[in-house]
Amino acid sequence: MKLAQIAHSRAGDKGNISTLSLIPFDEKDYDLLVKEVTVEKVKDHLSGIVKGEITRYEMSNISSLLFVCEEALESGVTTSIASDPHGKALSYALLEMEI
């Protein structure tokens, strides 16, 4: 199944770093996300976009995951010529991942 079937995502940016939240529609699916959506899988899924390290933070108190993706925005919003310099489309790309 694709992540989009059980979760939604939001994106943020700071310089050349994109942050991607992953929030299940139903809190009971949080443990499945923790188990299945690893840094390695996300790195593989976004390999053509994210060039740097990816760090995952588990926020069990709000049943969500946060991925901090370095070197993801082609040098940052103010200097990038990318079609999506803010990285908002990365959240949708993450939701296309199969688990």
> What single string gives the DSSP state of each residue in the chain?
-BGGGTEEEEEEEETTEEEEEEEESSGGGHHHHHHH--HHHHHHHTTTT--S-EEEEEEGGGTEEEEEESS-STT-TTT--SSSTT-HHHHHHHHT-B-
For 3-79+88-95, CATH gives: 3.30.70
Average pLDDT value for residue range 64-73: 93
- The domain segmentation of the chain, as residue ranges, is 3-79+88-95
Q: Is the pLDDT of residue 85 over 50?
A: no
Taking the model in full, what pTM does it have?
0.83
CA distance 78 to 13: 11
Q: Which of 66-70, 71-75, 76-80, 84-88 has the highest mean pLDDT?
A: 66-70
Q: Average pLDDT of the chain?
A: 87
CA distance 16 to 19: 10
